[in-house]
Amino acid sequence: MYAFTYERPKSVEEAVNLLKKSGEAKLLAGGQTLLPAMKLRLASPGTIVDLSKVAGLSGVKRDGNDIVIGAMTKHVDVMNSAEVQKSIPALAHLVSVLGDPAVRNRGTIGGSLANNDPSADYPAAVLALNATVQTNKRKIAADDFFKGLFETALAGDEIIEAVRFPVPEKAGYEKFRNPASRFALVGVFVAKGKDGARVAVTGAGESGVFRVKEMEAALGKDFSAKAIEGIKVPAKGMIADLHGTAEYRAHLIGVLARRALAAAK
């Protein structure tokens, strides 16, 4: 780790000012990606702006027909939230298979989304549930938020404050783990909401999380595993590495989507 300046603001406004002041500042949420990268000297921010003391960024609440999760809410708190378990059990399940106990006890939803790792679990839920990312500046629809590998719509001085999930009729998540990292080799989140069905895939796409429109169309009529039986996802654009070929990943999307549908609640 290289030397850096450590700041611990009390408000979002103060945090934004610190970001503006230093060109090389990085926000620290749960630190489950940033800190290992810093220890390996792969990241070297000049300033760390620790959000842990910013008031009002944590917690899960129901707001009308939405579940609102504060950006600094730890994975474990989403997993254990009675409200999440009742309203979006697929989301509680997703968090229960995310990382390991250490990661779940430190990592946060906001940190995960801002990082947008192509194999992370949360982006699949946010995209499939058609959630809205609320920042200090604006509300960003899920479809506009994810911009590619580790890329998001967030501006340099923009901070995620909360994520708003419309409660779906039904949703399910199936993850197939990378045998080494235990990240998603492929993860598929299916959801049936008031605007129809959505299918989001993490782990497989060369440009990060993506939707499978053909499946969505079929599921709009019949939200069941049977409805997508004949649909094959092309291997083009899929990640190929020593853990799985592009063809394998494309194939897994179908398998996992069907299983997620069968298990959807």
> Taking CB under 8 A as the rule, does residue 170 contact another protein?
no
Instruction: Give the interface segment with another protein, choosing from 60-68, 77-85, 226-234, 239-247 (CB under 8 A).
Output: 239-247
Tokens of 256: 């996992």
Cβ nearer to another protein, comparing 141 with 255: 255
CA distance 168 to 119: 23
> Taking CB under 8 A as the rule, does residue 96 contact another protein?
no
> Taking CB under 8 A as the rule, does residue 251 contact another protein?
yes
CA distance 215 to 209: 15
List C-alpha distances in Å: 96 to 60, 81, 239, 243: 16, 11, 25, 23
Instruction: Give the interface segment with another protein, choosing from 45-53, 134-142, 144-152, 175-183 (CB under 8 A).
Output: 175-183
Site string for another protein, 176-195 (x = CB under 8 A): x--xxx---x----------
Residue ranges in 27-46 that form contacts with another protein under rule CB under 8 A: 40-41
Residue in 89, 153, 243, 263 binding another protein, rule: CB under 8 A: 243
In this structure, the strands spanning 5-7 and 47-50 are: parallel
Give strand pairing partners of 49: 7, 27
Q: What is the CA radius of gyration of the chain?
A: 18
> Taking CB under 8 A as the rule, does residue 255 contact another protein?
yes
List C-alpha distances in Å: 197 to 140, 188, 208, 257: 20, 13, 20, 12
> Taking CB under 8 A as the rule, does residue 149 contact another protein?
no
Residue in 212, 252, 257, 261 binding another protein, rule: CB under 8 A: 252
Cβ nearer to another protein, comparing 5 with 181: 181
Q: How many residues bind another protein (CB under 8 A)?
A: 17
List C-alpha distances in Å: 82 to 65, 77, 247: 16, 10, 39
Q: Which residue is it, tokens 């990661």?
A: 103
> Taking CB under 8 A as the rule, does residue 62 contact another protein?
no
| DSSP secondary structure letter of residue 252 | H
Residues in contact with another protein by the rule CB under 8 A: 1-2, 40-41, 176, 179-181, 185, 242-245, 248, 251-252, 255
